[in-house]
Structure 1
Amino acid sequence: MTAQYLSWLALWGAVALYAIAMVASSIHVAQVADAKVAARAKARAAVAAGTQATGDAKPARASAGQEPQVRVRSRAAGIAASTTLVGAVLNGVGVVARGVEAGHAPWSTMYEYTITGTFVATVVLLLVQRKRDVAYLVPGVTGFSTIALGIAMTVLYEASTGLRPALQSFWLVVHVSIAIIATGVLIVGAVATVLQLMRDYRDGGTDWLQRLRWLEATPSPAKLEALAFRLHAVGFVLWTFTVMAGAVWAEHSWGRYWGWDPKEVWSFVIWVIYAAYLHARTTQGWAGRRSAVLALIGFVALIMNFTVVNVYFQGMHTYA
C-alpha cells in the first residue's frame, strides 16, 4: 500500500466517521434537551405542589431561573464519542501519510492546509471535552470537519509535488503550523459563539428560534460566551505569532517584512478584528451579542482569507 493510497483511504474514512459523529451527537443533544425540559417541568410541578400545601410562594421564587442538572447516558453519545475519536485518528494518519508521500511537511497547498486544519479542530474539541461536558459543540465541529474535509477530497485535492523555492524553508513548519493550530482553535470558538447567539436570541423571545428545542441542551449564553472567549483568546495569541512569523519569513525570502500582499493584508485584518473582539468583550456594555458578532466577523474574514484571497487575488502567496 502506497502512502498516497493510505492517505486517501484514511481521510475518506475520517469523512465518514465525522458524518456519523455529527448525526449521533445531534441525536444525543436532542435527548439532553428533552431530559432538561422534562426535569424543568417536574421541578415546577413539585414547587407548585409545595406552594399549594404551605401557602408560601417563596419556594417558587427560590427555584426560578435555575437550570436543571441532567445527565443522559445514551447509545448515541457513545457512538458520537467513539466515531469522533477514531475519525480524528484516521484524519491524523491521512495527514502524516500525505507528508510521507510529499516528502515534506504537508502544509504547502489549500488541500494540505484543510486536511490538517480539520484534524486540529477535532483534536481541540476532544481536549476541551476532557475538561468539561461540551456535547453541544460536537455536532457543529464534526459537521464543519465533514464538510471541509469532503471539499478538500473532492475539490481541493492536488497531487503531491516538490516544494516551490519560496517554501523550501523551516519557516514552512513554524509559520504554517501555527496558523493551522490557530485556525483549528478559532473554528471551535466560532461554533460556541454561534450557539451563544442562538441561545441568547431564543431566550429573548425570537419566534423561529423558539421552535429549536435542541437549544435547551446548551448552557446559558453567559457560559457559552465565557467558553468562546477563552478559545478566541488562545486563537488570537496563536494568530499573532502567525503574523509575526510570516513577516520574518517574508524578510528572509523576499527581503522585506511587509509588502501589502493580499494575504498579508487579510491576515492583518483578521488580527485587528479579533483584537477588537477581545477588547470589546472586556469592555462593559460590549459583552454579549455585540462582541459575539465581532468574533463571527473575524471568523468570516478567516474563511475568506483561505478561500477568496487564495483563489481570486494574485500575489506572492498564490501557491497557498
Structure 2
Amino acid sequence: MRLEQYAQISNYAMVAATCVLALAFVAHVAEWAFARKVVSDEKELVTSGPTPPAPPVEDEAPVTERFSRVGVTLTILAATLLVASVITRGLAAERVPLGNMYEFGLVGVAVALLTYLALVWKYQVQWAGGVVAAFGLVMLGMSLSTYVPAGPLVPALDSYWFEIHVSAVMLAGAFFLVGAAASVLYLIRARAEAKGNVGAVLRRLPAAAVMDKLAYRVNAMAFPLWTFGALIAGPIWAHYAWGRYWGWDPKEVWAFITWVVYAGYLHARATAGWKGRRAAIFCLIGFVTFLFSYYGVNLFGSGLHSYAK
C-alpha cells in the first residue's frame, strides 16, 4: 500500500472517529435528558391525583442505563478509529506521529479516550462520559483546524527522548482530564446536596465525596507522569535538540506552572486536609494551566516549541 493511501485512511478514520464521538456525546446527553423526564413524570403523578394505572417509574431506569451503555460503546468505537488513524498516519509519515499540533491532538484524544475507558472498567466512571466526549470533540476540532499533510520530522524532534517526553505528558493529561471532569461534576452534585435538592438526574452521579476522592486519585496518578514527562524527559530531549536542559521557553514556563499548581493541590490535600470545593477549584485551575501549556502556548506564543504549529 502506498504512503498516500495510508494518509487517506488516516484522514477518513479521523473524521469517522469525530462523528462517532459526537454520537457518543449525544447518547450521554440523552441519558441525562431522559433522567430529567423521569423527574417530571414523578412530579406529575404526585400532583395530578388519582390516575389510571401507569408503568412504574422503575421501568424507566433501564432506558437511561441503555443510553449510558450506548455512549460508552460508541466511545470504544471512536477510540478504536482514532487508534487506527494514529497507526496509519504513522505509516504514511514513516515515523511516530507526534510532529505537529494535528498529530498531538490526534494522539492526545486517543490516549484520553483509552484512559477514560480503562477507568470505566476499573472505577465505573461512565458518568463522566459526556464531559470526556465533549472535551475530545473540542480537541479534535482544534486539531482539524491545524491539519498538515504527513511528512518528515524537523531535526529538533528526531529523538526517542522526544517520543518518551510527549507520551508521558499525554498520559498525564488524560488523567488530568478525568480529574477535571470529576471536579466539575463534584461541584454540581455538592451544591445540590447542600440544598437538599438531589433529583433523579444528579442521583445518577456518585455522591460528591466519592467524586472528590476520585479526582484526588487520578491527579495523584497523573502528577508523577507529568513530573517525568515535562521536567525530566523534556529537558533531556531539549539538551539533545538545542544543547541546553532548560531555557525558560514559554512552553517550559507553562509546563512548570502546571507542575507547581498540581503539586500545590496534592500538598494541600495531603497536609492541610483540603477537600471539597476548594480542592475542586484548585484542580480546575491546574487543568486550565495544562491546557494552556498544551495548546495555548503553541497558538498564541512563540519560542523553540513553535515548530508544533
Q: CA deviation at 1:195?
A: 0.6
Q: CA deviation at 1:200?
A: 1.4
Equivalent position amino acid for 1:273 in 2: V
Residue-by-residue CA offset, 1:166-211 (whole Å, 9 max, x unaligned)? 11111121111111111112111111111111111222239xxx69
Q: Which runs of 5+ in 1 are unaligned?
A: 40-69
Residue number among 204, 207, 220 corresponding to 2:207 in the alignment: 220
Residue number among 7, 22, 26 corresponding to 1:23 in the alignment: 26
**Partner of residue 53, structure 2:** none
Name the CA distance, whole Å, in 2 between partners of 1:255 and 1:141: 38
Q: CA deviation at 1:91?
A: 0.8
Q: CA deviation at 1:24?
A: 1.0
Counterpart mapping for 1:148-187 below 5 A: 148-153=139-144, 155-187=145-177
> CA contact under 8 A between 2:162 and 2:233: conserved in structure 1?
no
Displaced runs of 4+ in structure 1, greater than 6 A? 33-39
Equivalent position amino acid for 1:26 in 2: V
Is 1:269 matched with 2:261?
A: no
C-alpha change, 1:297 and 1:151, in structure 2 (3 Å) is: same
Q: CA deviation at 1:212?
A: 8.0
> CA contact under 8 A between 1:33 and 1:217: conserved in structure 2?
no
* TM-score relative to the length of structure 2: 0.85
Name the CA distance, whole Å, in 1 between partners of 2:224 and 2:36: 35
Which segment is superposed worse, 24-33 or 124-133? 24-33
Q: CA deviation at 1:19?
A: 1.0
Name the CA distance, whole Å, in 2 between partners of 1:121 and 1:257: 28
Name the CA distance, whole Å, in 2 between partners of 1:205 and 1:222: 15
Residue number among 217, 234, 238 corresponding to 1:246 in the alignment: 234
Name the CA distance, whole Å, in 1 between partners of 2:213 and 2:24: 25
Counterpart mapping for 1:1-320 below 5 A: 2-31=5-34, 72=62, 74-153=65-144, 155-205=145-195, 214-242=201-229, 243-320=231-308
Name the CA distance, whole Å, in 2 between partners of 1:94 and 1:272: 34
> CA contact under 8 A between 1:281 and 1:291: conserved in structure 2?
yes
Identity of aligned residues (%): 37
Q: CA deviation at 1:295?
A: 0.8
Name the CA distance, whole Å, in 2 between partners of 1:198 and 1:266: 29
Q: Which runs of 5+ in 2 are unaligned?
A: 43-59
* TM-score relative to the length of structure 1: 0.83
Name the CA distance, whole Å, in 2 between partners of 1:248 and 1:297: 28
Aligned residues: 288
Name the CA distance, whole Å, in 1 between partners of 2:165 and 2:138: 25
Residue-by-residue CA offset, 1:88-136 (whole Å, 9 max, x unaligned)? 1001111111111111111111111111111111111111111233221
Which segment is superposed worse, 126-135 or 185-194? 126-135
2:195 is paired with a residue of what secondary structure?
coil
Name the CA distance, whole Å, in 1 between partners of 2:182 and 2:259: 19
